[in-house]
Amino acid sequence: MPNLPKILSWKLFFLIGLLIILAVIFLRMPKPCQETITYHIGNVDDRFGLTRQEFVLAVNMAAAMWGKPIAGELFREDAQGAIEINFVYDYRQEAADKLKKLNYKIDNTKTSYEELKSRLEKLKAEHDQRSTVLARDFNLYNSRINTFKANVEYWNRHGGIMESVHKNLLQEKNELNYLWEKLKVRQDELQGLTDTINSMVVVINEIATNINLDSVDYQNTGNALGREFCEGFYKIENGKQTINIYQFDNNYRLVRVLAHEFGHALRLNHSADTKAVMYRLIQSDAIELSPDDIAALQKRCYN
Ligand SMILES: [Zn+2]
């Protein structure tokens, strides 16, 4: 039986070969934190008042924050980078900007929420009252103009307007024109009030959700509600990673929001520590990881 040892050695050779291949695959498999995650900058809306370079600088600072504790590079900018980072100006920033111009103080706190809510109630009451009075004044104007027109028609049917009547009618016409201009100004003011109220409703709802809802983003990937209520948002859709930033208050806060979303890209979840970058709300402008963030990163990298 000279063939048997030959078959055995072939089997053995095949088995050893397979083990070597598996070992190579296993050793070459990137462990978390060993592989640098690449990103590229997508759309930067200039309505935030920030240049593209300034935004890129903030992104790079946020990316560097995560590499610091492990003295390495976890993220790197690359033209074909895996994560697309966008600065998206939408109705929420527009609403917040409108209110800020009116000197409203806005932040994600219960105090801010209560304050805005009570101001909203007052504004609504003011709006309703002014709207009622304006409607009444428009009616008065309309009946006056109807009377004026009827008068002009009457005199025209009776052989033309007499000198004495003409003077009175001219005065009434001037007064009506003046009244019309005044009414239009008041109508514009009321429209402004309506816009403010609408902006307040948007901002208040956003704060309300920020305060009341837990785990608003990453864990809710695929949930439409998720992106509604975040300053920033990280998502994976059909294998494509995106970070969208929706709000801008100042540079430090922007870096912190970006760092939070980069944390999600590292598959980190929210932290219960309010000082952590990975806390679900952005509660400070500090651009440094907390001990809790570092512990989470190390657990992710080495366990
Ligand atoms: Zn988050």
In three-state secondary structure terms, 297 is helix
| Cα separation, 202 vs 182, whole angstroms | 31
* Ligand 1 centroid distance, CA of 75 (Å): 18
* Ligand 1 centroid distance, CA of 7 (Å): 58
Q: Choose the final residue of a domain: 193, 208, 223.
A: 208
- Digit-by-digit pLDDT tens for the chain (303 residues) are 555 566 667 788 878 888 877 776 655 555 567 789 999 999 999 999 999 999 999 999 999 999 998 888 999 999 999 999 999 998 888 888 888 888 888 877 788 888 888 898 899 999 999 999 999 999 999 999 999 999 989 988 888 888 888 899 999 999 999 999 999 999 989 988 888 888 888 888 887 777 653 323 333 333 333 333 467 889 898 989 999 998 888 899 999 999 999 999 999 998 999 899 998 877 778 889 999 999 999 998 876
* Ligand 1 centroid distance, CA of 237 (Å): 17
Shared-domain flag, residues 156 and 227: no
* Ligand 1 centroid distance, CA of 49 (Å): 25
**Number of domains, the chain:** 3
| Cα separation, 112 vs 35, whole angstroms | 42
* Ligand 1 centroid distance, CA of 48 (Å): 22
Domain containing residue 41: CATH number:
3.40.390.10
Rg (CA), the chain: 33
Q: How many CA atoms lie within 13 A of 83 on its CB side?
A: 27
* Ligand 1 centroid distance, CA of 270 (Å): 6
Query: Parallel, antiparallel, or unpaired: how do β-strands 232-237 and 37-44 relate?
Result: unpaired
The first and second tokens of residue 139, run together, are 């009616």
Shared-domain flag, residues 74 and 151: no
Shared-domain flag, residues 217 and 75: yes
* Ligand 1 centroid distance, CA of 47 (Å): 24
* Ligand 1 centroid distance, CA of 189 (Å): 40
* Ligand 1 centroid distance, CA of 208 (Å): 16
Question: Looking at the whole model, is its pTM more than 0.75?
Answer: no
Q: Choose the final residue of a domain: 152, 174, 208.
A: 208
| Cα separation, 72 vs 54, whole angstroms | 24
* Ligand 1 centroid distance, CA of 288 (Å): 16
Where in the sequence is the domain holding 126, given as residue range(s)?
Answer: 106-208
* Ligand 1 centroid distance, CA of 265 (Å): 10
Task: Name the residues around ion ligand 1, CB cutoff 5 A.
Answer: 217
* Ligand 1 centroid distance, CA of 216 (Å): 6
Q: Which helix (H) or strand (E) holds 280?
A: none
Sheet of strand 37-44, all strands in order from the earlier edge strand to the far edge = 75-77, 37-44, 83-87, 240-245, 232-237
